[in-house]
Amino acid sequence: MNEYLEEAREELKRVDHIIYVSLKYTRTVDVIRNALLRMVSACDFIVAGILEYNKEQKKIKKLPETPKQRIDVLRDLYKDDKILMNYINFYVFLRELVKTTYKKREEYRRHVTMIADLENQTAEVNIDVLEDNYDKAAKDFITYAEVLVGEGPVEE
pTM confidence score: 0.92
List the chain pLDDT tens, one digit each, 156 residues: 589 999 999 999 999 999 999 998 999 999 999 999 999 999 999 999 999 999 999 999 999 999 999 999 999 999 999 999 999 999 999 999 999 999 999 999 989 999 999 988 999 999 999 999 998 888 899 999 999 998 766 554
For residue 10, the enclosing domain spans: 3-99+127-148
Angle at 134 between CA 76 and CA 142, to 5 degrees: 45
Asked if residue 88 is part of any domain, the answer here is yes
Asked if residue 53 is part of any domain, the answer here is yes
Asked if residue 32 is part of any domain, the answer here is yes
Asked if residue 80 is part of any domain, the answer here is yes
Asked if residue 87 is part of any domain, the answer here is yes
Asked if residue 77 is part of any domain, the answer here is yes
Pick from 36, 29, 26: nearest CA to 138: 36
Pick from 118, 105, 119: nearest CA to 32: 105
Split into its structural domains, the chain has a count of 1
Asked if residue 68 is part of any domain, the answer here is yes
Asked if residue 111 is part of any domain, the answer here is no
